[in-house]
Every structure is written in C-alpha cells, then in structure tokens.
Structure 1
C-alpha cells in the first residue's frame, strides 16, 4: 500500500479523533519520532527498519492508532508508557529474530521478521507459546489499515 491510499483511508479516523475525548483516551496518540531517534532505535535493535514504517513513525507516530496500540520508537519521558520497540523487542525476541510492533493483548505480538540485520516489510503474528509465526500483512501500512483503521471490514 502507498501512503497516498493510506492517507485517504485514515481521513475518517482523523476527523473522528479531532472531536473524540473520553477520559484522556486518544484515537490517534501521535507519538512521532525524528529521523535521529529512528536511527538510534535501529542501532539498538541491530536491524534496519522498513522505510514505510520509518515514514509512518515520522508522520503519524506510535501509541494508539484507532484499534491498534503501536509501540512507539521512543519511550515516554516517564510513567507507565515506558515501553518502546527496542525494550519490548529485546524482551520478547532476545535472539534478534523479530522486531515487535504492537502487543495483541494476549501475550502475543505483531512484528517484523529480521533477516541478516534487516526487517522484512511484511508484518507477522508471533504467538507467545508457539515457535511458528504467521504472516498477516504484506506491508506495514496494510497492517495498520486492517488492524488500526479496520479498513475492508464489514
């Protein structure tokens, strides 16, 4: 998926997010990252992140994005939101085989598989009690459209 198509899909969510305020919960949290912060995360992970993911983090950011809670590139300054892609990936994938993108809420994660120091562009579902991950989206924007915006669902 290209950003132009994704931006059109996200417009209704953006419009709703502008007026949505329930106890401080945001539909689009927008914890963006600067290119330097993304490069620092890549060094810490020992893996190059996909260009599409990096652009998304610069434009939209981590945190809540509709129906999915994307791990941010950088941790919050303090408080309960101290998890980020580096801390969670190191804890969940200590062998460096994947980079965690978002918790599922069941101990499972969505993430990028890592091969030879580069994240593949596809997003996979990693089960906490199974060694066989499952591909779920061809690229990051498709993943966010399916799980965050829930595009294409009836």
Structure 2
C-alpha cells in the first residue's frame, strides 16, 4: 500500500473526526507530526534506523490517535508524556525492539531491530516474554488493520 491509497482509506475517518470534534469535543485523528530534523534526532538518540514508511507517516500524520490505535509521538507534548524515545529507553534499552504503540495490556506494537536497522514490519511484543508475533507488513497496513479496523 502506498500513501495515496492510505490517504483514500483514512479520508472517511478524517471526516468523522471533524464531526466528532464539533459535536463531542474530541477528534478521532489527532496527531503530533514530526519534522525531518526531529526524526533524525530520534534515530541518533535510539541508535537505530527507523523504517522509511514509518518516518513518512510520522511526518505526515504524526503520533497520537488514529481511530482505534494510539501511536507514540516522536516528540512528547509535554513533560512526563510518553514518546518513542522515553518508552524505548524504559522498556527496550537493548534496542532489539522499537515500540511505537501501546496495546493497553503492557504489551507493545513495534519494529524488531536487526543490526541497528528496524524492519518495516510491525510486530506484537508480549510483556511477559512470549515470542513476538507478526502483525503487518508496514505501519500503513498496521494502521488500516488496527486503527481503521478495515
């Protein structure tokens, strides 16, 4: 899937988000976008190369709520808020896995890391030590499956 195809799939949710914000005071898509410099700084701080599709997504849509999933932002919104670096410093300091989204059970979705390079694939990482499980070919497919529930 490319970004144009993804944009077409997310458009109905974007429209519902605008209506939800006006009617209920909360959005269904609410992201904190990152700049090229912020993404490069994160890669330097983590010591890994992030997937290209993920970097493009974070610069276009950002971390935060996308339908039914919440992604950690590249840069935190404020003191004490989780972001990609703080979560991974705390949970995966060995950098064998880069968490990008909480599952809500102490588990995480993210990227396995091979020799300092994140795979494009999104995997489910169990907090209790079970073997990680494949979830999606890339972050766009992951968002469609878990955020848009298509």
TM-score normalised to the size of structure 1? Answer: 0.92
Residues 1:86 and 1:24: Cα distance change in structure 2 (over 3 Å): farther
CA RMSD of aligned residues (A): 1.3
Q: CA deviation at 1:131?
A: 3.9
Corresponding residue number in structure 1 for 2:142: 143
User: Which ranges in structure 1 are unaligned for 5 or more consecutive residues?
Assistant: none
The answer to whether the aligner puts 1:100 opposite 2:99 as a matched pair is: yes
In the alignment, does 2:67 pair up with 1:47? no
Q: Offset of 1:24 from its aligned partner?
A: 4.3
* 2:78 aligned residue: 77
2: CA distance between counterparts of 1:128 and 1:25?
A: 30
**1:29 is paired with a residue of what secondary structure?**
strand
Output one character per residue of 1:49-70: Cα deviation in whole Å (capped at 9) or x when no partner. 1111111111111111100010
Query: Please, what TM-score do these two structures have when normalized by structure 2?
Result: 0.95
Aligned to 1:20: 20
Determine if contact 2:97/2:112 at 8 Å carries over to the other structure. Answer: yes
